Each structure stands twice: as structure tokens, then as C-alpha cells.
Amino acid sequence: MGVMCKIRSVLTLVGDVLNKAISFIVFCFLDLLDFILCFVYKVADFFIEAEWKPCYCSSAKEAITGSGKILVSEQGESKVVCLTSSKLQLEDISDTLYSRPSLVTEVSKLTVSELKKLKLDGTIIQSCEKVKKGTVRSTFTINSTIVEMLQGKMVGQQLHPIPRWSDCDCKFCNSWTSSSKDTLFVKAQGPKDKAREDVLFIHGFISSSAFWSETLFPNFSTSAKSTYRLLAVDLLGFGRSPKPTDSLYTLREHVDMIEKSVLDAYKVKSFHIVAHSLGCILALAIAVKHPGSVKSLTLLAPPYFPVPKGEPATQYVMRKLAPRRVWPVMAFCSSIACWYEHISRTVCLLICKNHRLWEFLTKLVTRNRIRTFLLEGFFCHTHNAAWHTLHNIICGTASKLDSYLDAVRDRLKCDVTIFHGKDDEVIPLECSYDVQRRIPRARVKVVENKDHITIVVGRQKAFARELEEIWKGSPKD
């Protein structure tokens, strides 16, 4: 046994070293590829749409002299001026949108840091300090991408037609453009006037309301269907909901649209919340905003990463979520989505714009034996929506989640239940336990042999019964 443990330890160490070495080579190449794609898309946008499309590769310094101080950022806390029809307000945005150093830059900084610790040369250290103070930790930062987007609003111009050339133009993805209502798509099921309780379902990243309506809704008992009004929403930028090209998809925008499209439109007074992955952050924000209305809070795989003191919150969470490793596969996929603006746009161009082809091929290969609602949820979004939502919700709320969880602990009286698949490779199981440490009354249920998706898909009957039990045990009005 001792020999086997040593062999296993050696193999694990060798595998880890190989993973890091291969990852370094791969992501250095991807850094270069993303740099090249930046210019390719600028040229393509100009020739197809007759306008340069700003991206987050733009230098922050250019916007300081040319556009006034619209975005101010300090130590990861960023706000941007936003114009609505009636007022000016500050939007919280994540600095990870425009501060994503290449792998080579990170290694260089790490080397300088190690030299500083060793104190090999006082002169070198002093010069490094000057460079660091002069370029890295500027007090205020202006980002030209957001400046350009907001300037379009200020002069009242339409930024880009819907859809953009790299977005899908099918009727399903753009069904919202034919509606006069500026609201989210909501899949509602249950008694309209006689429902005693309402349930709000919030899906996760690059998903849709079908994640709930095609799995749980058909499996609720007859009693539940006659008691609860089930409201599953497509988040802003996803599914059949609006996908505005000039939106920054901030936490406020997402929460406001859910309130407008669900709570206000359906006259919801008190409600249960069921949320998955990224949707858990929105669920917490809504619960804190409506503490007296939430009857139960059910979170599936909440992406909560406690930030150590002294660490920049947004950057820390981005590195935890997307570690820039080729293995496991989900770590590689999340790294592409987080770190590379133009490579991820290329993925959307190839997959989302051509989703009808991929759906046809899937049905052809499987002989139409499987339902494609998961594919529809995965495909039906724009790069602009996915990119900003990922950074502004998961990374951008890193410094807020502690206060949200504390508010749920202290101000809400409802039950909090957390489900997490033991085999989840997207959000570590430890995240759920970290939530429980913040909210001691929260119950964590680990589901064996299930991952980020199969925690619902494939066990929908069992999960529907579990939800009904949670709702029955909640305080009555």
C-alpha cells in the first residue's frame, strides 16, 4: 500500500507539472491569437458595419484625454456613468473586462515579485517599484470601450443594428425584436388567478428558461401545479429575451429586468426562488432587495469564492473560475470564455450564429432521439451578452457577495437550501460549503455522481419532489 501511494503521488506530481507546462505553451499561443483576432475583427466590423467596434484591448490612457472621465476604477472597484431615460446613475462593472494580463506578463510580474522578496539588488527593486507605481496602480482608470458605447447613447445614435453581423439572425433568437414590450421572456405555468404561491426560476450562464421548463415543470405533482405559479425567466441577453448591443449587462440591469418582467408584470408579492450557478448571484441580489417577500431560497452550485484579505476581489475570482489550464476540460473552456474576448467571439460566431446547423446535425446523428432544449439554451445568446454577464456578474460581484450572504443570514427568515453535484467540475463543491459557513442555517445537499448540469437534468423527478418538500415547509402568509 505504501509503495502504491508513493507511485500515485509521483504520477500526480508529474501530471501536474505536465499540465502546467503544456498550459503555459497553449495559453501563450492563445494570447497571440487573441491579439491577432482583435485586428481581424476591427477590419471586419469596419467593412461590414462601416464602423469601428470598440473592444477591451483599447488603451485606457487614450480615453482619459479624449472622452472625459466616464469610467473610474480603483483597486478593482469600478463604476461607469450610465444614462437612462430619466436619470444619470453609476453602474458597477468589473475591471476584469479590461484588465486581463497575458500569461507572459503574469510570469514577468511574478519574477519581479520573487526578486523583490530575495532582495538581490536594491537598485533593481527600487526601479521596479517606480514602474509598478507608475503603470499598474493608477488611482483612476478610463476605459475607452465603455466610453465609446456610452458616447453613442449621449448623442442619441443607434450603436449597431440588431443583430450584428457575427450574431445569429434567426427568428427564434430575435423574436424579441418583433415585440413592443421591453421585457424578458417568461415561461409561466400554473393557475393565473388562483395560485396561492409563486416560484421564480433563474437559470445559469449560457442557458435559458428551458433548463427548468423542459425538465422540472412536467414533473411537478398535480397538487403542486394547482398550488404554485411557476415563472422561469430568460435572462437579459439569453434565450428569447432582448439582447441589446449597447448594454453592459450589469447586476443592476439584470435585477431590474427580472423585477420589471416578473415581479411587477405578474404582480408577485411573495415568492420562492430557485437558481442555478450564475443565477444564484442574481437570486441573492433579489432576496436582499426584497427580504420580506422571499419564502424560500434554493441555490444550485452557487459560484461563491471567498476572497482573502488584501487580494483584488474581481481578479481573484476570475483566476479561481478560469485558472488557464488545459485540464480538466471545463477549466480550459472557462478560461477561453473569461480571458479571451476575441477568441470567445469566434466561438460564438462558429457555434451560436450557426446553431441551426448544429441542431440539425445533432438530430441527424442521434436520429432525433434526444431533445435539444439544452442546445437551444447554450446557443441562443450573443457574445456581447455572454462576455459582459460573465465578467460583471460572477467576477464583478466578488466584493459584494459577503454582504449579500450576511444580509440573507441576518435579515431573511426563510429556509436556505443548497444543492451541489459531487462531480461538478465547473463550480467546486467547496463553494457551497463556503456559503453554509456564511449562513449557518443553510442546508447543503451533495448529490452523488452528478455534475453541474445533471444535478437537474436526468434527476428532474427526484428534484421536483425535493423542491415541493422545501416549499411545503416554508412559512405561510
Domain residue spans in the chain? Answer: 61-97+140-155, 175-473
Q: Which residue has the cell 415563472?
A: 231
Residue 125: pLDDT above 80? Answer: no
Band (pLDDT 50/70/90 cuts) for residue 116 is: low
Band (pLDDT 50/70/90 cuts) for residue 376 is: confident
Residue 88: pLDDT above 80? Answer: no
- Give per-residue pLDDT as tens, 415-470: 999 999 999 999 999 999 999 999 999 999 999 999 999 999 999 999 999 999 99
pLDDT averaged over every residue in the chain: 84
203 as an active site residue: the answer is yes
Q: Which of 277, 296, 334, 432 is catalytic?
A: 277
Tell which wins on pLDDT, 146 or 156.
146
Q: Which of 344, 424, 432, 451 is catalytic?
A: 424
User: Would you state the pLDDT for residue 423?
Assistant: 96
Q: Which of 45, 203, 254, 334 is catalytic?
A: 203
16 as an active site residue: the answer is no
User: Would you state the pLDDT for residue 207?
Assistant: 94
User: Would you state the pLDDT for residue 438?
Assistant: 98
Question: Most confidently modeled of 4-8, 27-31, 101-105, 114-118?
Answer: 27-31
- Give CATH superfamily name and number for 175-473: Alpha/Beta hydrolase fold, catalytic domain (3.40.50.1820)
402 as an active site residue: the answer is no
User: Would you state the pLDDT for residue 233?
Assistant: 98
User: Would you state the pLDDT for residue 72?
Assistant: 52
Residue 411: pLDDT above 80? Answer: yes
Q: CB–CB of 205/275 below 8 Å? A: no
Residue 220: pLDDT above 90? Answer: yes
Band (pLDDT 50/70/90 cuts) for residue 180 is: low
User: Would you state the pLDDT for residue 371?
Assistant: 63
Residue 205: pLDDT above 70? Answer: yes
Band (pLDDT 50/70/90 cuts) for residue 49 is: confident
452 as an active site residue: the answer is yes
